[in-house]
Each structure stands twice: as structure tokens, then as C-alpha cells.
């Protein structure tokens, strides 16, 4: 029996390590899915055979069956001397769980620590039950219930995460409501603070940083970092970073589900509302473009009474929101539409940025020079200038601020990697931004033009058609296409073939890391590489 205890300990160490890695893996996915059980379940359903029941589980079932038969009809001692070490080998951690090459690592926030503690308790229950049953059997046979408990603990990884999320939901709701109350209290105590709220399917993060830079000409400005556009992201900034000296707070209002914008406005009601665009981003969760437009329009409807509203009238759905505005409407157009308050003309684009002339509502003009790439950034700058005009700044004053604006990281960010030019547009995942980025790639003539992309997601029924059209667009502007994901990029390959793009200039890889490895020996001085969109880890087909 002493030998069996040693072998059982050996099997427990391997199984325990695997249970921990597997549980950590699913907690990471749950975090990437925004702690939303519905999205997590949908992710699991799409990968049932790859991540839930693996070959190791089949081996574990076979060993349990073999152990049961051997204990009953053969020698219990000899059977377990085989089953226990075989079990350790079967449940050695697989590549799926030990890979460290992730783009966004698991972050052990306070919420994740609470979720982890609850999940560990649930995972320990079958192990404890198996151990208790095995001890009652008083013989070698008792090791089998214990192994069965380890098996259930491992297999049930996704279930433990869901159960932990369920039991912790009241706690998280109470904590989040507390954070919201604190943020509202802080903002209500600052009648001198002006809140600029920005939403849109595309461009809201870029516009946020443009607005912050322009307004800093006159005001002490605080803007949320990165894509802090959720209730908890906004509350975190308000509760921890807002200082008495700040006079303007620039916020980004994100949306994935109906009611999201109204929830954000209940925390921080905008004194100036900006809507950049209405597009097909998040079509899967919103159902239709009309629903997206209705939800984006909530920012205008929920703004303070008489709040200035800045709208991109090149987008008809955004232009229609003017009828819900309670205050002065500032209309901007990069296409020179009649009736716009700010219009861009004489626009000249180049790899180093753009130059254009802006005319405001008074007829005054100023030449704007920017290092931001792409024609959509002309529109973004116009939106920022309109916010400045609404708060009393002059065009020429704001032109100096625009010249200082650096590209937002991973949004058409131009950089050098030795003799190779990199266009980093990893955060763009919409048809408009993707097409603009490819056109910018096509404007370079220093060497081969290479695109690395997995295509676009969350476009609902239009996803295949949009990615196919994206492939056709790539064919007109690129010399080599490196596509990330065999399944994800099928429509892009279809579009490339339809446009006559040679198959030998298309390379399909499983992950962004594999794309880097492929390109490293291939690149030559003068080459330009566009990284267009970078899907989160939960979409990585290498998993």
C-alpha cells in the first residue's frame, strides 16, 4: 500500500497542476469576455471539442474503466500500479494551458481574485468527495473514487467558472453599485467640471485624445486612458484620478448591448455630446444598424439640458440625431456638406500625415497640419475642433494643438523597425477603418506592401460579406497578405481570389506570433507592414 500512496501522490501533483492551469485558462477567457456569462458560454459552444473535452479526458475515462475492471477481475494492487502513473502521464499539462504567448495576459484584479477563490472551492468539491468515499472503502479500490474526483475537477473547469460567477454576482453587483454611487457623488460635487462625452461605432478613442489635446490649450483636462469606456472603467477614473484642478473631463462611452449608453450617462451626464459614426461594429449583440444608431443617439438624448452637440453629418444616421438635441448643434463635414459648421477643404494626404484648411461657422479659416494618417482622421480632427469651438476656443489657437497630436497607440501608428516601416492599426476592427488603413498602405512606394490581418469580427450576418469585400480591397493595395486564422480568413481569401490576387502571395498562419516568425526572415529594407486588427486571445485559432 505504501507504493500506491506514493504513486497516488505523484498522480495528484500532475492532476492538481493541470486542474489549476485549466481553471486559470477559463478564468482568463471569462475576463476577456468582459465577465459576461452569456458571451463565455457562446465561446465555449463554438469550441466544445477543442477546449472542453480533450483527448486527455478520453484517456482518463478509459483508465477509470480499466481500473474498475482490473480491481474487480484482476489484481487491485497491480492494476493501480499501472493506472496511477498512467493517469499522471495522461493529465500532464497540454500546450493549450502552458502557452505563455498571449496578447492580453490574465490580470488578477480584486474581482478576479474573488472569482478565483470561489472557482477553487467548487473545483475542490469533487476531489474532496472522491477522497472521502475512497477512505471509506479501506483498500486499494479506494483510489479509484479519488481519481474520479480529480477527473471531474479537471473536466468541470468551465462549469466552476460559471458557478463562481453566479454565486459572486450579488457581491459584484453590490460593489459596482457602490463604485457608481461614489462616482456620481464626486461628479455632483463638481458643478464647475464640464464633461465631454464621446460615442460612435468608429473613431471615439481617437477623437477623445484629440479633444483632450485641443482643450488643454485653455483648460486642465482629464481624459480616460485607452479604451476605458465601460461603467467600471469610467468609475475608476472618476474615483481615483479626478482632481480639484481639473476643469474638463473627457469620457468615451462604449456600447455592446442595448441600454449601455444610458447606464453610462446615469454615471456621468455629458455637458457636451459628440457622436462620431454609426456602423456595423457590435452588430452581433445589437441586431441591426438601426438599433446601433438608436443606442448611439441616447448620448444626445441623455445629455444635460442645452448641452452642445457635435455631430458628423457625413453620416446620415448621425446627422438625424440633431432633432433630439436640446442645445446648439455643431455639424462637421470632411466632405464639404452644405450647412456644416466646420468644413475641411484642400485636403492633402501623405505617408507622414495630412494638411487641410478648416473653415468654421464664422467664416474664419486656419491651415491644419497633422501627423495622423488617413482621411478618417481629418473627420476626427474636425470633431475635436468643433468641441473646442463650442467651449470658446479659436481655430488658430487649436491648430497649434493639432500639430502636436501623436497617433493613438495601435491606431494607424507609424513606427520604424530597423529598415522596415510598421503601420500599427491593431485596434481597428471595422470596415471603414480597415479600408482606410489599406489605402494608406497602398500609398507607400518604398518597398513591398504587406498586410497582416485576421479580418473583422462581431459583424453579425454581414461578417462574411464585409471580410470578402475587405479581401478585394487588399488585392488592390498590397503585395503580400499574411492572414491569421484558417477559418476566420476564408472570406478574405475568397475576396483576394475574386480580385485576381495570386495565391502564392497569400500566407495563412494560425496566430499573430506565427505571422511574426514567418515575416522575420522575409522582410527587406523599405518594406512596409500593416498590422490591421489583432483579435483578442479568445479568438486565436492556435488555441
Q: Cα-flanking dihedrals φ and ψ of residue 309, to 5°?
A: -125, 130
For residue 372, the SS3 value is: coil
| Co-location of 384 and 486 in the same domain | no
**Alpha carbon distance 321, 312 (integer Å):** 10
Q: How many residues does the chain have?
A: 543
CATH number of the domain enclosing 511: 3.90.190.20
Q: What is the pLDDT of residue 268?
A: 96
| Co-location of 239 and 271 in the same domain | yes
Q: What is the pLDDT of residue 543?
A: 45
Could you tell me the three cell numbers for 392?
470658446
Catalogue the E-assigned strands of 148-259.
Answer: 194-199, 221-223, 248-252
**Alpha carbon distance 235, 76 (integer Å):** 60
Q: Is residue 177 part of a domain?
A: no
Give which of 303, 301, 346, 309 is closest to 331, Cα–Cα.
309
DSSP run (H or E) holding 391 = none
Higher pLDDT, 2 or 230: 230
Task: State the residue range of the domain holding 129.
Answer: 2-171
| Co-location of 327 and 468 in the same domain | no
Structural domains counted in the chain: 3
| Co-location of 19 and 58 in the same domain | yes
Higher pLDDT, 245 or 463: 245
For residue 368, the SS3 value is: strand
Q: Is residue 373 part of a domain?
A: yes
| Co-location of 128 and 258 in the same domain | no
Confidence of residue 427 (pLDDT cuts 50, 70, 90): confident
**Alpha carbon distance 307, 325 (integer Å):** 8
Helix then strand then coil, % of the chain, to nearest 5: 55, 15, 30
Q: What is the pLDDT of residue 315?
A: 93
Q: Is residue 176 part of a domain?
A: no
| Co-location of 389 and 256 in the same domain | yes
Q: Is residue 228 part of a domain?
A: yes
Q: Averaged over 79-91, what is the pLDDT?
A: 75
| Co-location of 126 and 212 in the same domain | no
CATH number of the domain enclosing 205: 3.40.1190.10
Q: Averaged over 182-188, what is the pLDDT?
A: 97
Q: What is the pLDDT of residue 497?
A: 94
| Co-location of 267 and 123 in the same domain | no
Confidence of residue 48 (pLDDT cuts 50, 70, 90): confident
Q: What is the pLDDT of residue 97?
A: 63
Q: Is residue 260 part of a domain?
A: yes
Q: What's the predicted TM-score (pTM) here?
A: 0.77
Q: Is residue 207 part of a domain?
A: yes
DSSP run (H or E) holding 542 = none
| Co-location of 442 and 388 in the same domain | no
Q: What is the pLDDT of residue 540?
A: 53
| Co-location of 239 and 338 in the same domain | yes
Q: Is residue 259 part of a domain?
A: yes
Q: Are 16 and 92 in contact (CB under 8 A)?
A: no
**Alpha carbon distance 521, 411 (integer Å):** 26
| Co-location of 399 and 417 in the same domain | no
Last residue of a domain, one of 404, 439, 471: 404
Mean pLDDT value across the chain: 87
Confidence of residue 542 (pLDDT cuts 50, 70, 90): very low
Q: What is the pLDDT of residue 153?
A: 92
| Co-location of 111 and 205 in the same domain | no
Catalogue the E-assigned strands of 216-351.
Answer: 221-223, 248-252, 272-275, 309-312, 329-333, 342-350
Q: Averaged over 44-52, what is the pLDDT?
A: 79
For 257-291, what is each residue's pLDDT tens digit? 889 999 999 999 999 999 999 987 776 777 788 99
Q: Is residue 450 part of a domain?
A: yes
Q: What is the pLDDT of residue 98?
A: 55
For 319-346, what is each residue's pLDDT tens digit? 999 998 988 999 999 988 888 999 999 9
Whether residue 490 is predicted with pLDDT greater than 50 in this model: the reply is: yes
Q: What is the pLDDT of residue 182?
A: 97
Amino acid at each position: 500500500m505504501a507504493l500506491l500512496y506514493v504513486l497516488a501522490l505523484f498522480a495528484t501533483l500532475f492532476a492538481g497542476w493541470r486542474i489549476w492551469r485549466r481553471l486559470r485558462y477559463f478564468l482568463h477567457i471569462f475576463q476577456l469576455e468582459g465577465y459576461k456569462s452569456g458571451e463565455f458560454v457562446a465561446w465555449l459552444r463554438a469550441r466544445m471539442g477543442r477546449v472542453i473535452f480533450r483527448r486527455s479526458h478520453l484517456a482518463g475515462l478509459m483508465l477509470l474503466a480499466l481500473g474498475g475492471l482490473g480491481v474487480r477481475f484482476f489484481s487491485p494492487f497491480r492494476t493501480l500500479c499501472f493506472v496511477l502513473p498512467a493517469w499522471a502521464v495522461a493529465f500532464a499539462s497540454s500546450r493549450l494551458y502552458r502557452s505563455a504567448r498571449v496578447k492580453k495576459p490574465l490580470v488578477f484584479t480584486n474581482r478576479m481574485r474573488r472569482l478565483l477563490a470561489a472557482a477553487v472551492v467548487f473545483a475542490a468539491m469533487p476531489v474532496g468527495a472522491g477522497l472521502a468515499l475512497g477512505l471509506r472503502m479501506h483498500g486499494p479500490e479506494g483510489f479509484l473514487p479519488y481519481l474520479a474526483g480529480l477527473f471531474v475537477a479537471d473536466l468541470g473547469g468551465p462549469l466552476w467558472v460559471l458557478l463562481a460567477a453566479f454565486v459572486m454576482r450579488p457581491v459584484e453587483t453590490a460593489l459596482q453599485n457602490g463604485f457608481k454611487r461614489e462616482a456620481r457623488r464626486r461628479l455632483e460635487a463638481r458643478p464647475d467640471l464640464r464633461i465631454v462625452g464621446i460615442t460612435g461605432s468608429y473613431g471615439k478613442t481617437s477623437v477623445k485624445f484629440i479633444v483632450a489635446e485641443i482643450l488643454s490649450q485653455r483648460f486642465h483636462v482629464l481624459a480616460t486612458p485607452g479604451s476605458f469606456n465601460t461603467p467600471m472603467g469610467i468609475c475608476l477614473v472618476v474615483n481615483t484620478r479626478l482632481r480639484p484642478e481639473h476643469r474638463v473631463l473627457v469620457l468615451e462611452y462604449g456600447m455592446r448591448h442595448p441600454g449601455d449608453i444610458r447606464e453610462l450617462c446615469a454615471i456621468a451626464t455629458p455637458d457636451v455630446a459628440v457622436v462620431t459614426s454609426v456602423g456595423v461594429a457590435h452588430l452581433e449583440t445589437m441586431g441591426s444598424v438601426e438599433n446601433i444608431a438608436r443606442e448611439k443617439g441616447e448620448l444626445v438624448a441623455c445629455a444635460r439640458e442645452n448641452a452642445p452637440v457635435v455631430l458628423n453629418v457625413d453620416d446620415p444616421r448621425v446627422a438625424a440625431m440633431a432633432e433630439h438635441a436640446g442645445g446648439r448643434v455643431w455639424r462637421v463635414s470632411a466632405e464639404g456638406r452644405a450647412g456644416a459648421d466646420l468644413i475641411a477643404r484642400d485636403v492633402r494626404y501623405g505617408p507622414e500625415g495630412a494638411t487641410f484648411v478648416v473653415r468654421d461657422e464664422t467664416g474664419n479659416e486656419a491651415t491644419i497640419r497633422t501627423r495622423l494618417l488617413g482621411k478618417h482622421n481629418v473627420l476626427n480632427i474636425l470633431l475635436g475642433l468643433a468641441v473646442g469651438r463650442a467651449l470658446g476656443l479659436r481655430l488658430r489657437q487649436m491648430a497649434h494643438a493639432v500639430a502636436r497630436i501623436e497617433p493613438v497607440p495601435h491606431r494607424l501608428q507609424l513606427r520604424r523597425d530597423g529598415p522596415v516601416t510598421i503601420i500599427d492599426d491593431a485596434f481597428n476592427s471595422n470596415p471603414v477603418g480597415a479600408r482606410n488603413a489599406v489605402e494608406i498602405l497602398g500609398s507607400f512606394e518604398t518597398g513591398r506592401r504587406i498586410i497582416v490581418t485576421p479580418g473583422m469580427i462581431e459583424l453579425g450576418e454581414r461578417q462574411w460579406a464585409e471580410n470578402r469585400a475587405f479581401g478585394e480591397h487588399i488585392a488592390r493595395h498590397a503585395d503580400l497578405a499574411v492572414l491569421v486564422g484558417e477559418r476566420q480568413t476564408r472570406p478574405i481569401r475568397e475576396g483576394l481570389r475574386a480580385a485576381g490576387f495570386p495565391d502564392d502571395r497569400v500566407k495563412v498562419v494560425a496566430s499573430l506570433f506565427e505571422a511574426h516568425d514567418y515575416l522575420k526572415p522575409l522582410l527587406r529594407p523599405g518594406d512596409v507592414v500593416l498590422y490591421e486588427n489583432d483579435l483578442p486571445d479568445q479568438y486565436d485559432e492556435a488555441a
